[in-house]
Amino acid sequence: MEAVKIIALDINESLQQEQILTAFVVNNKTGCIIASLNHVYDKKTIVSDISQNWIKTIDTFDARAKEKGISDEHIACLQMRLIIIMKKLCSAYMIK
């Protein structure tokens, strides 16, 4: 039985200044990006699949965030962080 492995994604200074996240992780078992938001967004959680196509991964994350009512500015901050840490995710999931 494979153990669930949670990979914490680094939250950079600009995301910390926005003060919207309580956790930003990848669940290795489900292959999902999970962004847990704080009181600013009523403690909502964005769960988004990781695809073999990185652009699809970003687009799916964007759609899930919009469904949760996240502002365009905060979605852009989260997306930029995902793009920056893409190499870490790519090595874990063999994403091209």
Q: Domain spans of the chain?
A: 6-91
Residue 25: what are its φ and ψ, rounded to 5°? -140, 170
pLDDT beyond 60 at 93: no
Query: Is the distance from CB of 21 to CB of 41 less than 8 angstroms?
Result: no
Question: How many Cβ atoms sit within 10 Å of the Cβ of residue 30?
Answer: 12
- Residues 28 and 6 sit within 8 Å (Cβ to Cβ): yes
Across 27-38, average pLDDT: 91
For residue 4, pLDDT over 80 is answered with no
pLDDT confidence band for 88 (50 / 70 / 90): low
Burial 41-61 (b: 16+ CB within 10 A, else e): beebebebebeeebeebbebb
Average pLDDT over residues 63-81: 95
Mean pLDDT (whole number) for 86-96: 61
Query: The whole model's pTM is what?
Result: 0.84
